[in-house]
Structure 1
């Protein structure tokens, strides 16, 4: 029997709080789950620093990846199977891409990427195509199979239908993380009727479409997404933790470049600091490693690194105030000058953070991110873009919302033992008194 069609002698089942059960029948999928690169995802949190805001948000990229796989398995085995627009030969390709789509995420992913100018998608590609256990498993399904999987994840494949299952404005990735993140954070916003959406999905030549009768379930999904972004993903306390995390990594990098002598050598960071990170180095990095160094850095001679590490681990986060960079840039300049006079380095302790989201948009050629619209299939078989039929979606379509906050260490600027007059001026500018 060909490896790509080989089934396990007995189906494996994962208990899951979101989907109840995750079913694995294919030998290839089971072998991929067992690779060191996939098991590493157990040690990467799905929501980064969000656990400091919502204490239940301890779930991992491993949980989420299995969930995306399960949704695609249900679509391919239960919803699309036997439909003339769906090629059953694409089933395993779709399942592998779903399972491996987040393979390249690093510890505290987005903050980590910003500081070291990394892209998790590049590492996903390198893990799938490089000298790894994942690649060896995929190779057994065909010499060109790893490349096909990578192209689906990278959205460069000509098989647009399978790409849209993994990456579109209504895909298995989003359907899992919205529900999973809502479950683990304890909020009610991310819940929607996924069962209904799956039942009304239909394959077309180049993307998944939704039967018109399922429009209201899709409206609910889009509003759930909108609420989750602003109530959970962009929560100002989470962003404060991300600001401090980012500044810790920046400080460690700056000290390394200044030939600072660390008490405890950050050997796991050397290839990052030098910009020479290999896939093997990357796979060894996880959040336990990062937090270990933060523990060590609490004892460093450098005041800034020591303070920031303590703040992150003890959850002594920065406070924030609303801030409009376009209108208040002069205030930011004044505050920076006052911080310096008070002996507080504004580079690390006065930070503007912005979050921006576009909840739904129809396709606009030339945009930085191509956003394929959600299409409804009318009763007569015609296809119509969602916002043309839904007044709810039309109301938010194309409307980008941006939020700016200014973060600062409140305990320091309220401490009048040093520079009391300057700190009073800082508080007045921040409208704290």
Structure 2
């Protein structure tokens, strides 16, 4: 394996980590690649910027941050826990480069407005990440091959979680990994909230390797608790914010309507969305995907303002000019009849339910211990006591135990804001609207 260091360390100034240090030529080459530079044009938090106006940061900066956290952990392991003999469970620093490359590239497959785009066009950013790394047509792959012919496969296997060294995998993907550490701090910084902030300096002091992965010294339990609760609060207060979800619903319906319009003859789109055609026709390849970013989609949304289709034009206007759908939380089991009646009223007032209503579920499991019988078993967080014994976090932390295995979030019905704000355009349906508001109050009470 060819490992070439830069003659002089390269640094990037960063608002979260101060400096990001690059010492390997392959890392700098990857950063300068076409596929990685594309991440500058993809927002990290999607529609959250419509709620938290500072959240303009990109997946480029996040990926650099995950790299930097991983680099610091490797430094810590190399300095304090170097492997002395095979199988001793300590850190083999020959794994450093594969860790750093996997950390840097873990989000390379994200598309524009990532998760919403995926739902409409059936893309998968994790699978596309692997394609970008393994395809001999990408600059990423060609750069990785300069290390060794099989190096792209090694990096991909870390992201796919089947790399043979569990320490490497868990540094990139576990319930407390470099990815989550960076996005919590970075998203908290840019959204202007305090929820996601935790003591990363302490976390990096108490993290350590062991034979089956990574763990934390027992004395660092409270720092780990702080991290778990910070993550929980970020999901409840930021990522699941009702207004952000309302904008995601509009974006989802906007893309769906554009696809439906394109595929309904005669062709009703007078403004040609060239780069989206392969996705409308479900006949796209990796090169088509890499042409897309947030700016491309935003340009098409602007063009769709002038489309003859009133639904497409209206949804484009709502998204571009931040006119989110309103919502009300409900219980699917107990409130089903109310939701059905509210949806029927929306249709009678003149809105097509397919494009003007949505039921949005947002749930997250803040922490769980290992359950081998689950569909996606999690790697539990282990603490190591002074005798070298491992203890699962929730068995000694009452705070973490209180949220272990318990999903947080809610289910909401989204609908046009006009349904609860009487206006000249809808005053002919005042009786319907009053009934709608009455049903909404029942749910809120």
2:107 corresponds to: 102
User: 1:209 & 1:235 partners in 2: Cα distance?
Assistant: 32
Question: Of residues 176, 182, 187 in structure 2, which corresponds to 1:181?
Answer: 187
Does residue 1:326 correspond to 2:333, yes or no? Answer: yes
Contact 1:80 1:202 in 2 (8 A): no
Task: From 188, 191, 200, give the equivalent of 1:194.
Answer: 200
Q: Which residue of 1 aligns with 2:121?
A: 116
Aligned to 2:76: 78
Q: TM-score scaled by structure 2? A: 0.94
1:46 aligns with 2:32: no
2:416 corresponds in structure 1 to: 409
Please say if residues 320 and 405 of structure 1, whose CA atoms lie closer than 8 Å, have aligned partners that are also in contact: yes
- Which residue in 1 is equivalent to 2:224? 218
Matching residue within 359, 365, 385 for 1:378: 385
Task: Report what 1:419 is aligned to.
Answer: 429
Query: What SS does the corresponding residue of 2:196 show, helix, strand or coil?
Result: coil
- Say which is worse superposed, 304-313 or 75-84, in terms of deviation: 75-84
In the alignment, structure 1 residue 68 sits paired with structure 2 residue 75: no
Asked whether the 8 Å contact 2:77–2:209 carries over to 1, the reply is: no
Query: Aligned equivalents of 1:276 and 1:80: distance in 2?
Result: 47
Superposed CA deviations along residues 150-169 of structure 1, whole A, max 9, x for unmatched, are 01011122221100000000
What's 2:405 paired with? Answer: 398
What pairs up with 1:191-270 in 2 under 5 angstroms? 191-259=197-265, 260-270=267-277
Question: CA contact under 8 A between 2:40 and 2:60: conserved in structure 1?
Answer: yes
2:366 to 359, 369, 379: 359
Deviation, structure 1 residue 431: 3.0
Structure 1 position 412, deviation (Å): 5.1
Give the Å deviation of 1:420: 3.1
Matched, 1:368 2:367: no
146-155 or 322-331, larger mean C-alpha shift: 322-331
d(CA) in 2 for partners of 1:169, 1:425: 46
Matched-pair contact (CA < 8 Å) for 2:325–2:417: yes
Question: Retained in 2: the 8 A contact 1:79–1:198?
Answer: no
1:159 aligns to 2:165 (yes or no): yes
| Contact 2:268–2:309 (CA under 8 A) maintained in structure 1 | no
Deviations 1:34-89 (A, max 9, x none): 10000000000100011100000000000000000001111112333452211111
Q: Is the 8 A contact 1:80 1:203 kept in 2?
A: no
- Between the aligned partners of 2:316 and 2:435, the Cα distance in structure 1 is 28
Offset of 1:365 from its aligned partner? 1.1
SS in structure 1 of the partner of residue 12 of structure 2: strand
SS in 2 for 1:191: coil
Query: Separation in 1 of the partners of 2:4 and 2:372?
Result: 42
Residue 169 (1) aligns with residue 175 (2): yes
The count of aligned residue pairs is: 431
By how many angstroms is 1:275 displaced?
Answer: 1.8
Give the ranges of 4+ consecutive aligned residues of structure 1 lying more than 6 Å apart after TM superposition: none
Q: Name the CA distance, whole Å, in 1 between partners of 2:24 and 2:31.
A: 11
Structure 1 residue 24, shift from structure 2 partner:
0.4
Aligned to 1:431: 441
Structure 1 unaligned residues grouped into runs of 5+: none
CA distances 1:370-402 after superposition (whole Å, capped 9, x unpaired) = 211000011001111111111111111111123
Q: Aligned equivalents of 1:80 and 1:229: distance in 2?
A: 33
Give the conservation status (yes or no) of the 8 Å contact 1:105–1:124: yes
CA RMSD of aligned residues (A): 1.5
Q: Determine which of 255, 280, 283 is the counterpart of 1:276.
A: 283
* Alpha-carbon separation, structure 1, partners of 2:244 and 2:298: 17
SS at match of 2:53: coil
Structure 2 unmatched ranges of 5 or more: 84-89
Equivalent residues in 2 for 1:3-14, closer than 5 Å: 4-14=2-12
Residue in structure 2 matched with residue 89 of structure 1 by the alignment: 94
Distance in 1 (CA, whole Å) between partners of 2:158 and 2:306 is 46
Distance 1:45 1:321 in 2: 27
Q: Is contact 1:138–1:146 with CA below 8 Å preserved after alignment?
A: yes
Whether 1:142 and 2:140 are equivalent positions in the alignment is no
Checking the alignment, whether the CA contact within 8 Å between 2:278 and 2:288 is kept in structure 1 is: yes
